[in-house]
Amino acid sequence: MSEQKEKFTKRVGKFFKEIRLEIKKVIFPTRQQLINNTIVVLLACFSVGVVVWIADAVLRLVFSAVFGQ
């Protein structure tokens, strides 16, 4: 039983050691890059929202014309 426990603790230790090695490879964005990317994402969400809103309005008009409601 203790041999299995030792194998488990070695695997856990290796796992956390590999995590530290991978974290060292991560390149975090600068503050300016983070701000720029956030603005791009917000603009993209807003643009998609506007397109969906326009499509909804057009389809509402089409359906009301077709079905006479």
Establish how many alpha carbons lie within 13 A of residue 42's alpha carbon, considering only the half-sphere containing its beta carbon. Answer: 6
pLDDT of residue 69: 67
pLDDT of residue 68: 83
Contact 29, 37 (CB under 8 A): yes
Say which DSSP state 68 is in.
T
pLDDT of residue 1: 53
Q: What is the pLDDT of residues 1-60, one digit of tens each?
A: 577 778 888 999 999 999 999 999 999 999 999 999 999 999 999 999 999 999 999 999
Number of domains in the chain: 1
Q: Containing domain of residue 47, as a range?
A: 2-67
What amino acid occupies position 58? V
